[in-house]
């Protein structure tokens, strides 16, 4: 999922920058930075950035751009909300770029694909699940965390596959037989790790999870 500078035409990369810059600026402007004024919350946010930079750098793949790695967008989104999650994941993408795992010109495209789409899909899933299902602890863990993480990485993988096919970087048959199916396997690991982390957070450190409220999910249950 880490794009290089030569996979797509130059116009695609410039278009990504045109979209990413105002989106990033908007998130920086609207993000609840006061929350990070608490040193503990700031340490958790920075810790997620560092850990996910390592996860994104430990990728598997044999062809440029066709890499596989855990995403972590669900944990970031459920803990800090969409704006801080997008900014944090954009920093992660920058760290991966500086490590040489992705092209600098392709940074905006990578940030939109992994951070933007990852956070956006989580937000859509969270709103749908919260509106359709009862507010219950097990619904939060197994649906929002486990299922949400699995659906998100599958969605990001499908978007990456469609993008690679659309720009002509690889043949469609190859992408849908040798690349996308692995996201279905990766979804299990993403769901298990995200669900486990969120379970530990809401049990032992619920104040780290901005989307979790005891009054909603535990009172009178």
Q: Does residue 74 lie in a domain region?
A: yes
Q: Does residue 1 lie in a domain region?
A: no
What does pLDDT average to over the chain? 92
Give the C-alpha separation, 30 to 115, whole Å: 17
Supply the DSSP string of 68-88, one letter for each residue: E----HHHHHHHHHHHHHHHH
Give the C-alpha separation, 102 to 85, whole Å: 20
pLDDT given at position 135: 82
Q: Which two tokens stand for residue 50?
A: 């560092």
H or E segment at 67? strand 66-68
Q: Which two tokens stand for residue 54?
A: 């390592």
Residue 66 phi, psi (nearest 5): -95, 65
Q: How confident is the model at residue 134 (pLDDT cuts 50, 70, 90)?
A: confident
pLDDT given at position 1: 74
Q: Which two tokens stand for residue 92?
A: 């992660």
Structural domain range at position 141: 10-217
Average pLDDT for 140-158: 96
Q: Does residue 130 lie in a domain region?
A: yes
Average pLDDT for 35-53: 96
Q: Does residue 4 lie in a domain region?
A: no
pTM here? 0.94
Q: How confident is the model at residue 75 (pLDDT cuts 50, 70, 90)?
A: very high
Residues 160-193: pLDDT tens digits? 999 999 999 999 999 999 999 999 999 999 999 9
Cα–Cα distances in Å, from 219 out to 40, 106, 215, 216? 26, 47, 5, 6
pLDDT cut 70: percent of the chain above it:
96
H or E segment at 174? helix 172-178
Average pLDDT for 192-197: 96
pLDDT given at position 212: 87
Bridge partners, 66 (sequence order): 63
SS3 category, 19: helix
pLDDT given at position 117: 97
Q: Does residue 3 lie in a domain region?
A: no
User: How many folded domains does the chain comprise?
Assistant: 1
Q: Which two tokens stand for residue 78?
A: 């459920």
Q: How confident is the model at residue 89 (pLDDT cuts 50, 70, 90)?
A: very high
Q: Does residue 83 lie in a domain region?
A: yes
Q: How confident is the model at residue 221 (pLDDT cuts 50, 70, 90)?
A: low
Q: How confident is the model at residue 219 (pLDDT cuts 50, 70, 90)?
A: low
Q: Does residue 5 lie in a domain region?
A: no
Average pLDDT for 21-37: 97
Residues 120-131: pLDDT tens digits? 999 999 999 988
Q: How many CB atoms lie within 10 A of CB 181?
A: 13
Bridge partners, 68 (sequence order): 60
Q: Does residue 123 lie in a domain region?
A: yes
Assign residue 151 the CATH number of its domain: 1.10.1760.20
CA angle, 51 as apex, 209 and 82 as ends, to 5°? 40
Residue 67 phi, psi (nearest 5): -110, 160
């Amino acid at each position: 999922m880490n794009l290089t500078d030569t996979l797509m035409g130059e116009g695609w990369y410039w278009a990504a920058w045109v979209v990413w810059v105002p989106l990033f600026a908007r998130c920086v402007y609207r993000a609840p930075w006061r929350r990070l004024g608490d040193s503990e919350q700031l340490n958790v946010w920075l810790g997620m950035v560092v850990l996910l930079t390592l996860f994104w750098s430990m990728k598997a793949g044999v062809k440029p751009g066709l890499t596989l790695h855990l995403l972590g967008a669900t944990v970031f989104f459920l803990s800090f909300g969409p704006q801080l999650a997008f900014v944090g994941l954009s920093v992660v993408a920058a760290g991966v770029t500086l490590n040489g795992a992705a092209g600098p010109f392709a940074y905006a495209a990578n940030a939109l694909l992994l951070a933007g789409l990852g956070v956006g899909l989580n937000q859509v899933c969270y709103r749908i699940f919260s509106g359709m299902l009862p507010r219950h602890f097990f619904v939060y863990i197994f649906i929002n965390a486990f299922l949400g993480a699995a659906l998100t990485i599958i969605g990001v993988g499908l978007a990456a596959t469609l993008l690679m096919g659309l720009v002509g970087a690889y043949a469609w048959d190859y992408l849908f037989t040798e690349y996308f199916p692995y996201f279905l396997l990766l979804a299990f690991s993403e769901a298990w790790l995200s669900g486990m982390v969120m379970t530990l957070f809401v049990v032992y450190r619920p104040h780290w999870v901005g989307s979790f409220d005891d009054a909603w999910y535990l009172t009178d249950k």
